[in-house]
Amino acid sequence: MTAYLAPAPSYRSLSLWHDTADDDWVPRPALPGDREADVAIVGAGFTGLWTAYYLAALDPSLRIVVLEADVAGFGASGRNGGWCSALFPASLDWLARRHGREAAVAQYRAMQQSIDEIGRVVEAEGIECSWRKGGTVSLARSPVQLQRAQARVRDARSWGFGPDDLQLLDAQEAHERLGATDVLGGTYTPHCAAIHPARLVRGLARAVEQRGVTIHEATTVTSIEPHIVRTSHGSVRAEVVVRATEGFTARLPGHRRALAPVYSLMIATEPLAPAVWDRIGLRQRETWNDLRHLVIYGQRTADDRLAFGGRGAPYHFASRIRPGFDREPQVFDALRQVLVELFPEVHDAALTHAWGGPLGIARDWCASVGLDRSSGLAWAGGYVGDGVSTTNLAGRTLADLVLGEDTELTRLPWVGHRSRPWEPEPLRWLGVTASLRVMSAADAEETRTGRQSRRAALLSRLLGH
């Protein structure tokens, strides 16, 4: 088993992205004491910073304060897979049953538009984050996975999404994009960009400061209440308080059951030689996965590494979050095994980074955004690991909600949605753990039987996939 060292006491050790962000990671000054603002935002990840960015752009007179326990980009915003995708955790069917077909399609189209909006801001603000809109290739590496690919394309067509949104690839087309083993076909969508997430979130933090937004780091929020945020350094009173804490939401009093923090882990290789990339492909820096049930995901970084991650890390009882949970040697070894299985040519490549962190999952797997005007409490989250672009949509939507605007964004079906709380322990642990095990077992079952797993299909329907 490979030895994976515990992180050194520095932000650079958090992930590949933190290590290569060209940033000194010195925390901004903490909140100096009690103060007042128009909008107080808790969390300096993508959700909080996008919200601040659009609010400041729409109304420069607003006094906006962002409060962060660590540094901007400390959490999932700085250490994710680097996918800026159009993925949304709740399915079209799930949304349509509750809000109608037109609203469901509008939600998905808004996700696609968010990718280009982020690209626009990246260019306008001069943020160097290795942006490349190369799309996503999803491989089918077994007959069952190929059936799944075909079904996904048929389903997309039934909702009015054409080849420009999702196309079926035959074995040769898929292999030309990504030269993995046992490729039988797959799908391709152009609606995704590969990014360096830590550079994006740090660049966004600087952009909001240039617009007059104040960011206080090293400021732990102890409670969120109507029109007030209490912290370790004082309180901020504001007309609107935005909760933008995603995977760390469970740490807030009264929110332990709002979002379940589930860990996703990643590894990264050393930069690979051009001859290796000639065999692997990803010439457009496509993001990639395959159609197994237990999620994997990867990208070719701008400096020619393979960055690869997946689920499978355990959920920790009582929604506990600890730095040590970011590193699970058995999961890292399993990821390396899968990566070598996919690409034998990386067998001897050194792994230079291994990391992880929590993401937020709502009980019904539906992300949401909203504002309760009476209490001034606003929120966004529950992205289930697909938050890079969803946070941008959330930020634009929250800006409209705070300013009282009635727009296409504020009429999307996720606005005002409230997921019911997760069950108390030990039921929460049993439910999340069982879901992870079902998906893992389903992949083994399909390999063994050559048939679609009924248990996985049932679980997917229950979760809104």
Task: Render pLDDT for 4-63 as a digit per residue (tens, 0 to 9).
Answer: 443 434 899 999 999 999 899 999 999 999 999 999 999 999 999 999 999 999 999 999
CB 84 within 8 A of CB 195: yes
Radius of gyration of the chain (CA): 21
Distance CA 134, CA 286 (A): 5
132's tokens: 């490349």
pLDDT at residue number 5 = 41
Distance CA 224, CA 127 (A): 32
From residue 92, give the alpha-carbon distance in Å to each of 87, 105, 176, 419.
11, 7, 30, 17
The Cβ of residue 120 has, within 10 Å, a number of other Cβ atoms equal to 10
Residues of the chain with CATH 3.50.50.60: 11-81+198-260+364-402
Residues of the chain with CATH 3.30.9.10: 131-194+261-362+425-463
Q: What is the pLDDT of residues 272-289, one digit of tens each?
A: 999 999 999 999 999 999
pLDDT-derived band at 376 (thresholds 50, 70, 90) equals very high
What is the CATH code of the structural domain delimited by 11-81+198-260+364-402?
Answer: 3.50.50.60
pLDDT at residue number 183 = 97
3-class SS of residue 214: strand
CATH architecture assigned to 131-194+261-362+425-463: 2-Layer Sandwich (3.30)
pLDDT at residue number 243 = 98
Distance CA 71, CA 53 (A): 17
From residue 163, give the alpha-carbon distance in Å to each of 153, 191, 287, 300.
9, 12, 18, 24
Section 387-403 average pLDDT: 98
| pLDDT of 200 above 70 | yes
Q: Helices 101-125 and 197-210 meet at what angle, rounded to 10?
A: 80
Query: pTM of the entire structure?
Result: 0.94
pLDDT at residue number 333 = 95
pLDDT at residue number 462 = 58
80's tokens: 């994710």
pLDDT at residue number 445 = 78
What proportion of the chain, given as a percentage, has pLDDT over 70? Answer: 96
pLDDT at residue number 7 = 40
| pLDDT of 230 above 80 | yes
